């Protein structure tokens, strides 16, 4: 039983009219002459199961849908004490029998509020497995005043949609879908459709192995079908496979993840794929390069070296000299070569070379090298034993400058961390307004009160603002690639024309100060700083924009209440805000844009005690 959906509402009650009651007396079921049937037979064929209980909580009416849901003869319900029905007939059909009984019986003991929760009916010979939403409310007037009206709505389809949503979108793979355990594709994401160049209708509703993308050869569909069978049995399946895309055949890292229900049975399969064609191509190239480098021939920016134990000599190719910033006529010894490594890395390479020349043990290391000009670089050094017959006569290896590659890897790691943070914020901060919108729409649907639509609209507006700020943070994490010389005063004036200043005053004292920047991102920086000052500075705040005394940048200062020193380091954190209506991303965007330009930002106190943001450009 899912009790998270409970929404007490003491203001909601029901009324059952006695009109036409006398005309229906002859239609009462035999053996229940003491039960008045209400004129609500129009609900008999409703998809919502309904109980009407009198003040003693006896069943005075129940529709056929209740009997279908519960697998109980309706004639056995009429006139019965609902408490006894729950204990002896009804509660046992639910997965959480005791929880269901406790929840419903409590509503009889305190018959003054609306109770809503979800409950799971377990399948049997006379009833289907389904999820129901229980909604009950007190009857305030009419012959059954003091009684209770109970509705049961089948929400099984909604539960299935929720499972599908979670299964598809709580994943990080590029191509994602959803299958029945028999392999029938029921959903697929846009990335997979774009890759294959197919419409959704061409693949949904059919076995995945029949999709055109998998018709590479006769074996590929059979292998996929076997993988589906394994996954349907509960196994996580993963392998690399070639499939057809719009740009030709591609290699994907493919997997099938089983999704189980509460009983552990597989109810869904999630096929996932990631295009690794480029990775496979690079692996192949690397294998070819290593084979080529074993012959000590310089290719690209990779050099080669050779130690001859017979002559106690060391040879370098031209690329190794270039990496060391040494002239080609320099004659290195093994000791000289080791001396160029960073002091902290030198013991590791010395030990590796000793093991190689003494015992033939190869090595593959990434270490820091200090060149002849004092520059520190990252290099990859590989060494392999050199045999003539069975005799170890020396060692040969490759030498590569990987400084740029390591920097790219660090950049990629930063981007991955930013993505993970972005995903975490989205999953956390969107949940609350989404729940508010969902709950408000449900209340509007059941009560007809338009005020709930306003709450839903407000929640959606907040989600829109949150998404816009999150996307800005994700995009603005990149470094600026192109700048132009801009007169700052002109940019500030343009920004002010688009801001709702109300009673605020913006005093611009920049003269002819100019700077090199990306104009679009500079405008966004100024919009956030000015909006922040106007929002928090008071109705008649004055905001000053000026040049720093040493002309190393500019400042935005206000005469508002200021920012306490103890929280100044926190205001740039994503999600930090002191306003109940704020999202806490404005200053985080400012810091991101500043960092993208290679600038710095400092928060201090203005001359009037307000906040002062200093942007240090140089």
* pLDDT tens digit sequence for 346-373: 999 999 999 999 999 999 999 999 999 9
Confidence (pLDDT) at 61: 93
Q: Are residues 394 and 417 in the same domain?
A: no
559 in a domain, yes or no?
Answer: yes
161 in a domain, yes or no?
Answer: no
Which DSSP symbol is given to 306?
E
The alpha carbon dihedral of 516, 521, 523, 524 has a sign of: negative
Confidence (pLDDT) at 301: 65
Q: Are residues 538 and 608 in the same domain?
A: yes
Q: Are residues 236 and 304 in the same domain?
A: no
Q: Are residues 569 and 438 in the same domain?
A: no
159 in a domain, yes or no?
Answer: no
Q: Are residues 316 and 248 in the same domain?
A: no
CATH code for position 363: 3.30.450.20
Span 309-342, pLDDT tens digits = 999 999 998 889 989 999 989 999 999 999 999 9
Nearest to 121 by CA among 171, 156, 166: 156
Place of tokens 């046992």: 92
Band the pLDDT of 18: cuts 50, 70, 90: very low
255 in a domain, yes or no?
Answer: yes
Q: What secondary structure, in 3-state letters, does 532-589 show?
A: HHHHHCCCCCEEEEEECCCCCEEEEEECCCCCCHHHCCCCCCCCCCCCCCCCCCHHHH
> How many domains does the chain contain in total?
5
* Mean pLDDT value across residues 62-90: 91
Out of 125, 154, 183, pick the residue that ends a domain: 154
Tell me which H or E stretch contains 364: strand 363-370
Q: Are residues 397 and 412 in the same domain?
A: no
Confidence (pLDDT) at 24: 38
Question: What is each CA distance from 319 to 297, 324, 363, 505, in whole angstroms?
Answer: 10, 9, 20, 62
Q: 366 lies in which domain range?
A: 284-401
Rounded-to-integer distance, Cα 43 and Cα 62, Å:
9
Nearest to 150 by CA among 241, 275, 59, 263: 59
For the cut 60, the answer to whether the pLDDT of residue 234 exceeds it is yes
For the cut 80, the answer to whether the pLDDT of residue 519 exceeds it is yes
Q: Are residues 234 and 261 in the same domain?
A: yes
Question: What is each CA distance from 603 to 164, 469, 523, 587, 616, in whole angstroms?
Answer: 47, 21, 19, 11, 11
Nearest to 90 by CA among 106, 111, 109, 69: 69
Q: Are residues 249 and 264 in the same domain?
A: yes
Q: Are residues 125 and 18 in the same domain?
A: yes
Q: Are residues 449 and 565 in the same domain?
A: no
Rounded-to-integer distance, Cα 114 and Cα 472, Å:
43
Which DSSP symbol is given to 127?
B
Backbone torsion region of residue 142, taken as left when φ is above 0, otherwise alpha when ψ lies between -120 and 50, otherwise beta:
left
Rounded-to-integer distance, Cα 375 and Cα 117, Å:
68
Out of 232, 258, 275, pick the residue that ends a domain: 275
Report residue 608 CA to chain centroid gap. 43
Rounded-to-integer distance, Cα 596 and Cα 424, Å:
22
Pick the range with the lowest mean pLDDT from 147-156, 256-265, 417-426.
417-426
Q: What is the DSSP string of 413-438?
A: HHHHHHHHHHHHHHHHHTHHHHHHHH
Q: Are 75 and 29 in contact (CB under 8 A)?
A: yes
* Mean pLDDT value across residues 399-420: 81
Q: Are residues 491 and 598 in the same domain?
A: yes
CATH code for position 445: 1.10.287
Token pair belonging to 149 = 């009206």
Q: What is the DSSP string of 318-356?
A: HHHHHHHT--TT----HHHHHHTB-TTTHHHHHHHHHHH
Tallying the residues shown for the chain, one arrives at: 618
120 in a domain, yes or no?
Answer: yes
Band the pLDDT of 23: cuts 50, 70, 90: very low
Confidence (pLDDT) at 467: 72
CA contacts within 13 A on the Cβ side of 376: 8
160 in a domain, yes or no?
Answer: no
Out of 154, 184, 202, pick the residue that ends a domain: 154
For the cut 80, the answer to whether the pLDDT of residue 9 exceeds it is no
Q: Are residues 416 and 544 in the same domain?
A: no
Confidence (pLDDT) at 95: 93
pTM as predicted: 0.32
């Amino acid at each position: 039983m899912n009790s998270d959906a409970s929404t007490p509402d003491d203001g909601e009650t029901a009324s059952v009219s006695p009109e036409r009651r006398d005309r229906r007396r002859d239609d009462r079921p035999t053996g229940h002459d003491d039960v008045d049937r209400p004129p609500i037979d129009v609900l008999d064929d409703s998809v919502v199961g309904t109980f009407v209980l009198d003040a003693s909580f006896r069943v005075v009416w129940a529709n056929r849908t209740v009997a279908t849901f519960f697998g109980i003869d309706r004639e056995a319900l009429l006139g019965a004490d609902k408490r006894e029905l729950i204990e002896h007939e009804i509660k046992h059909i639910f997965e959480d029998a005791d929880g269901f009984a406790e929840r419903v019986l409590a509503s009889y003991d305190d018959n003054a509020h609306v109770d809503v929760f979800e409950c799971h009916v377990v399948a049997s010979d006379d009833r289907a497995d389904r999820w129901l939403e229980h909604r009950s409310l007190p009857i305030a007037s009419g012959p059954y005043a003091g009684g209770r009206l109970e509705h049961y709505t089948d929400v099984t389809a909604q539960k299935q949609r929720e499972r599908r949503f979670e299964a598809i979108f709580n994943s990080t793979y590029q191509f994602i879908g959803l299958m029945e355990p028999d392999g029938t594709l029921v959903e697929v994401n846009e990335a997979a459709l774009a890759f294959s160049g197919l419409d959704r209708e061409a693949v949904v509703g059919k076995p995945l192995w029949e999709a055109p993308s998998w018709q590479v050869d006769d074996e590929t569909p059979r292998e996929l079908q076997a993988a589906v069978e394994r996954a349907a049995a509960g196994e996580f399946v993963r392998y690399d496979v070639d499939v057809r895309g719009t740009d030709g055949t591609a290699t994907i890292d493919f997997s099938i993840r089983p999704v189980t229900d509460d009983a552990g049975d597989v109810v869904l399969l999630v096929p996932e794929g990631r295009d690794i064609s480029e990775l496979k191509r690079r692996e192949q190239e690397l294998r070819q390069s290593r084979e080529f480098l074993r012959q000590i021939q310089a290719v690209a920016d990779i050099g080669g070296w050779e130690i001859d134990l017979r002559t106690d000599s060391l040879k370098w190719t031209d690329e190794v000299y270039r990496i060391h910033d040494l002239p080609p006529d320099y004659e290195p010894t093994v000791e000289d070569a080791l001396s160029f490594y960073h002091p902290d890395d030198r013991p590791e390479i010395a030990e590796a070379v000793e093991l190689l020349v003494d015992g033939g043990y190869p090595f593959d290391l990434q270490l820091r090298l200090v060149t002849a000009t004092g520059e520190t670089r990252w290099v990859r050094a590989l060494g392999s034993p050199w045999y003539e017959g069975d005799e170890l006569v020396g060692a040969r290896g490759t030498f590569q400058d990987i400084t740029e590659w390591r920097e790219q890897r660090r950049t990629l790691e930063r981007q991955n961390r930013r993505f993970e943070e972005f995903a975490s914020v989205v999953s956390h901060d969107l949940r609350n307004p989404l729940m508010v919108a969902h709950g408000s729409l449900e209340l509007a649907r059941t009560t007809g009160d338009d005020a709930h639509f306003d709450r839903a609209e407000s929640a959606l507006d907040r989600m829109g603002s949150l998404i816009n700020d999150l996307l800005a943070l994700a995009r603005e994490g990149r470094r600026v690639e192109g700048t132009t010389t801009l007169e700052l005063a002109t940019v500030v004036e343009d920004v002010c024309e688009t801001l709702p200043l109300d009673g605020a005053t913006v005093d611009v004292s920049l003269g002819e100060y100019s700077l090199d920047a990306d104009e679009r991102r500079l405008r966004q920086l100024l919009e956030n700083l000015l909006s922040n000052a106007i929002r928090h500075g008071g109705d008649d705040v004055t905001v000053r924009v000026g040049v720093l005394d040493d002309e190393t940048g500019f400042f935005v200062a206000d005469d508002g209440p200021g920012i306490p020193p103890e929280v100044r380091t926190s205001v740039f954190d994503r999600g930090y805000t002191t306003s109940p209506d704020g999202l806490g991303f404005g200053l985080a965007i400012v810091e991101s844009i500043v960092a993208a330009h290679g600038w710095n930002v400092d928060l201090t106190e203005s001359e009037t005690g307000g906040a002062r943001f200093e942007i240090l450009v140089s």
